[in-house]
Amino acid sequence: ANNRGMDEGETLDERLAGIEKGMIIEAISRADGVQVRAAQLLGINPRSLWHRVKKHQIDVSTLKRLQNL
């Protein structure tokens, strides 16, 4: 049996990772790059956000710069 997910060819974990990354980027953008505020928007603690930012290799400084354009 193949273990690819549904029709799009991605697994549940891949889909969830994409959703998580998108929500984190959106929250950091809405919080103007302030990770403590972004964590509050997401309902998670800042340490958890920091670990997830690292896991998804999200460049917070680039997001901050984009907000200031």
56 in Cβ contact with 49 (< 8 Å): no
Tell me, what's the pLDDT at 40? Answer: 98
Q: Which of 30, 3, 66 is nearest to 40 (CA)?
A: 30
Predicted confidence pLDDT, tens digits, the chain (69 residues): 455 556 668 999 999 999 999 999 999 999 999 999 999 999 999 999 999 999 999 999 988 888 777
Output DSSP code: residue 10.
-
Q: And the tokens for 12? A: 């549940």
Output DSSP code: residue 6.
T
Tell me, what's the pLDDT at 68? Answer: 76
Tell me, what's the pLDDT at 2? Answer: 53
